[in-house]
């Protein structure tokens, strides 16, 4: 087995470093408003609904930009698009620092910070193209691990906001983004349009997806797992603070622990799916998630709520890896296209939870109903995943049946899924 250093040296490791930094810092910026949601809501006297809309705004913006940014990265080069993304993040941070003192201003800030959510469409192509095929798994795995930026957001931002105010915290976050921009420009090698073939029109995209109609169900699954991961992580600081009276710093620290667990369990989910089959694992994960969310919806003691939240976010992270292994099974020749569409659906799913929690909190006076609804959705997905995805449909283009039970482990050498 080759040593780790040999694998690192087999490609252009500075590009891999630049890609990882881009994704790490961007993921932190993407969830920044959620990390400081308590402080912002208190200072602007926001209702729960207004807070939910604010927390959902960057998640929606990131979801809408994921596929276009991926296409732009192929057309003009991932490095150029990556620089534009970091500049957009800087614009959002500066706007929030100097003038984001109203809800309307902060919604604009959220839209600008949302461009950070499309960073994966830049970081992963850079990492993949920097290494030969034999080391692609290593490079993509390293780049994907940068979603640990959620831990930095939940750990650092509440502490800065508690001591200097949330607007000052946005100003301080300019420093890591500027440093990342400088290192990204220096470390990443020059690139241009992708040399691989790609759909040239949106009609071509839908035509390719139509070959495997299960992409709609895969989008729904990723909206529950990844969308739940980012959405619940954005909501937890507010829930812990308002429901259980934890300080902003304590609530952020507990959320950071949950996010770290979910991040670490993503590759574990993929490895387990490799061994026993995605469709054998996924219903169990979703059923377990439904049980954990049901317990959290009952609003138990703070210690039990923290444990249930930790388990819920961990189950979502584990499910992320399982779902993208299933995407690789279903789209072996179109993994890039499918990953972009499914990933965008997952990011869009992340905005639903803050909106639902905020709106129902104002209507009912509590957080329980929104969490019960999430638990019910997870339960339905657990029951229907097997029947909806159990067999491959007929490929119209190929003109022949391609029926295979993907609950069975894939053959050696099958393409691995990208984890975003």
Q: Give 10-residue mean pLDDT values along the chain (420 residues).
A: 71 88 93 92 92 92 84 81 94 89 90 89 81 71 78 91 91 95 91 54 61 75 90 92 93 93 85 83 94 94 95 92 76 62 82 90 91 94 79 42 41 41
Q: How would you classify residue 399: left for phi > 0, otherwise alpha for psi between -120 and 50, otherwise beta? A: left
Per-residue model confidence (pLDDT) at position 208: 62
Closest CA to 253 of 394, 151, 185: 151
Task: Report yes or no: 219 and 350 within 8 Å, Cβ to Cβ.
Answer: no
Per-residue model confidence (pLDDT) at position 194: 56
Task: List Cβ neighbours of 307 (8 Å cut-off, separation of 6 or more).
Answer: none
Task: List Cβ neighbours of 374 (8 Å cut-off, separation of 6 or more).
Answer: 228, 293, 297, 353, 356
* pTM of the model as a whole: 0.80
φ, ψ for residue 350, nearest 5 deg: -65, -25
Q: Looking only at Cα atoms, what is the longest distance across the chain?
A: 65
* CA 9 to the chain's CA centroid: 29
Per-residue model confidence (pLDDT) at position 402: 37
Q: Both tokens of residue 105? A: 């201003």
Residue 219's alpha-carbon distances to 23, 93, 200, 323, in angstroms, are 22, 31, 22, 9
Per-residue model confidence (pLDDT) at position 289: 96
Q: Both tokens of residue 132? A: 């030969």
Contacts 24+ apart (CB under 8 A), 136-144: 137/416, 138/7, 139/11, 139/16, 140/416, 140/418, 140/419, 141/267, 141/419, 142/16, 142/20, 143/16, 143/19, 143/20, 143/23, 144/23, 144/120, 144/266, 144/418, 144/419, 144/420
Count CA atoms within 13 Å of residue 189 on its CB side. 14
Set out the domains of the chain in order of their start, with CATH numbers: 11-193 (1.20.1250.20), 211-411 (1.20.1250.20)
């Amino acid at each position: 087995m080759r040593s780790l250093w040999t694998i690192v040296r087999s490609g252009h490791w500075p590009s891999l470093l630049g890609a990882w930094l881009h994704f790490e810092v961007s993921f932190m910026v993407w969830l920044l408003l959620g990390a400081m949601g308590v402080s912002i809501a208190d200072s602007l006297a926001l209702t729960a609904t207004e807070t939910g809309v604010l927390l959902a705004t960057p998640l929606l913006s990131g979801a809408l930009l994921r596929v276009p940014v991926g296409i732009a990265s192929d057309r003009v080069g991932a490095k150029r698009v990556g620089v534009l993304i970091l500049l957009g993040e800087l614009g959002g941070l500066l706007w929030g620092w100097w003038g984001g003192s109203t809800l309307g201003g902060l919604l604009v800030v959220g839209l600008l910070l949302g461009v950070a959510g499309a960073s994966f469409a830049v970081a992963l192509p850079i990492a993949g193209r920097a290494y030969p095929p034999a080391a692609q798994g290593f490079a993509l795995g390293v780049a994907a691990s940068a979603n640990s930026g959620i831990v930095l957001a939940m750990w650092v931002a509440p502490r800065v906001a508690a001591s200097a105010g949330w607007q000052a915290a946005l100003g301080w976050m300019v420093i890591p983004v500027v440093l990342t921009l400088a290192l990204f420009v220096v470390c990443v090698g020059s690139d241009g349009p992708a040399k691989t073939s790609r759909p040239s029109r949106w009609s071509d995209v839908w035509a390719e997806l139509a070959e495997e109609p299960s992409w709609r169900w895969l989008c729904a699954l990723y909206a529950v797992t990844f969308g739940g991961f980012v959405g619940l992580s954005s909501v937890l600081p507010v829930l812990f603070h308002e429901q259980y009276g934890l300080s902003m710093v304590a609530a952020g620290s507990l959320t950071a622990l949950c996010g770290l667990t979910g991040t670490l369990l993503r590759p574990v989910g993929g490895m387990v799916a490799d061994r026993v089959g995605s469709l054998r694992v996924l219903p169990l994960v979703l059923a377990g998630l439904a049980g954990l969310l049901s317990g959290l919806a009952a609003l138990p003691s703070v210690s039990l709520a923290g444990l249930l939240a930790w388990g819920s976010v961990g189950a979502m992270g584990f499910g992320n890896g399982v779902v993208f292994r299933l995407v690789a099974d279903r789209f072996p020749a179109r993994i890039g296209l499918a990953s972009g569409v499914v990933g965008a659906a997952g990011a869009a799913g992340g905005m639903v939870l803050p909106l639902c929690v905020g709106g129902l909190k104002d209507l009912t006076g509590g957080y329980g109903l929104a969490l019960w609804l999430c638990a019910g959705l997870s339960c339905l997905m657990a029951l229907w995943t097997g029947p909806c995805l159990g067999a491959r449909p007929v490929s119209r283009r190929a003109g022949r049946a391609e029926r295979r039970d993907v609950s069975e482990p894939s053959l050696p050498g099958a393409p691995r899924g990208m984890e975003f």
